[in-house]
Amino acid sequence: MAANPYDAIVVGARCAGSPTAMLLARKGYKVLVLDRATFPSDTISTHLIHPPGIAALRRWGLLERLVATGCPAVDTYAFDFGPFTITGSPGHDDAPVAYAPRRTVLDKLLVDAASGAGAEVREGFIVDDVLVEDGRVAGIRGHGKDGKQVTERARVTIGADGLRSLVARAVKAERYNEKPRLLCGYYSYWSGLPMHGRFETYVRPDRGFAAWPTHDGLTLVIGGWPFAEFAANKQDIEGNYLKMFALAPPFADRIGVARREARVVGMAVPNFFRKPFGPGWALVGDAGYNKDFITAQGIQDAFRDSELCAAALDQTLSGCRSFDAAMGEYQSTRDEHVLPMYEFTCGLATLAPPPPELQRLLAAVHGNQGAMDGFARVNAGVTSPADFFGAENVARISAAAAG
Ligand X SMILES: Cc1cc2nc3c(=O)[nH]c(=O)nc-3n(C[C@H](O)[C@H](O)[C@H](O)COP(=O)(O)OP(=O)(O)OC[C@H]3O[C@@H](n4cnc5c(N)ncnc54)[C@H](O)[C@@H]3O)c2cc1C
Residues that bind ligand X (CB under 6 A): 11-17, 34-37, 43-49, 126-127, 160-162, 166, 185, 266-267, 269, 285-287, 293, 296-300, 302
Question: Strand (E) positions, 264-343?
Answer: 265-267, 271-274, 277-278, 281-283, 289-290
CB of 101 to ligand X, least distance (A): 10
CB 157 within 8 A of CB 129: no
Q: Measured from the CB atom, is 37 or 228 closer to ligand X?
A: 37
Q: Are 55 and 148 in contact (CB under 8 A)?
A: no
102: nearest Cα among 50, 47, 44, 41: 47
b/e code 357-372 from CB counts within 10 Å (16+ = b): eeeebbebbbebeebb
d(Cα 343, Cα 182) in Å, to the nearest integer?
A: 12
* C-beta of 156 vs 371, nearer to ligand X: 156
At closest approach, how far in Å is the CB of 403 from ligand X? 38
Tell the smallest beta-carbon distance from residue 37 to ligand X (Å): 4
Q: Which amino acid is at 147?
A: G
- Asked whether 182 and 227 are in contact (CB, 8 A), the reply is yes
Which residue's CB is nearer to ligand X, number 87 or number 157? 157
Nearer to ligand X, 304 or 366 (CB): 304
Residue whose C-alpha is closest to residue 340's, from 270, 294, 296, 390: 390
Q: How far is the CB of 88 from ligand X (least distance, A)?
A: 18
List all residues 6 or more positions away from 144 whose beta carbon is below 8 Å from its beta carbon.
Answer: 122, 124, 125, 126, 150
Q: Are 169 and 218 in contact (CB under 8 A)?
A: no
Q: How far is the CB of 273 from ligand X (least distance, A)?
A: 14
CB of 278 to ligand X, least distance (A): 18
The nearest distance, CB 326 to ligand X, in angstroms, is 21
Q: Which residue is nearest to ligand X (CB)?
A: 298
- Smallest distance, ligand X to C-beta of residue 17, A: 5
Question: Are 91 and 376 contacting, i.e. CB atoms less than 8 angstroms apart?
Answer: no
242/400 with CB nearer ligand X: 242
Please identify, using beta-carbon distances, which residue of 349 and 364 lies nearer to ligand X. 349
SS3 393: helix
**Minimum CB–partner distance for residue 340 and ligand X (Å):** 17
**From residue 214, how far is each of 56, 104, 196, 219, 298 by CA, in Å?**
19, 12, 11, 6, 17
When the beta carbons of 42 and 343 are compared against ligand X, the nearer one is: 42
Which one, 186 or 361, has the nearer CB to ligand X?
186
Residue 321, Cβ neighbours under 10 Å: how many?
A: 15
Q: E strands along 254-337, which residues?
A: 259-260, 265-267, 271-274, 277-278, 281-283, 289-290
356-365 vs 391-402: helix axis angle to the nearest 10?
Answer: 60
Q: Shortest gap between Cβ of 99 and ligand X (angstroms)?
A: 11
Nearer to ligand X, 143 or 396 (CB): 143
Instruction: Identify which of residues 123 and 206 has a Cβ nearer to ligand X in the complex.
Output: 123
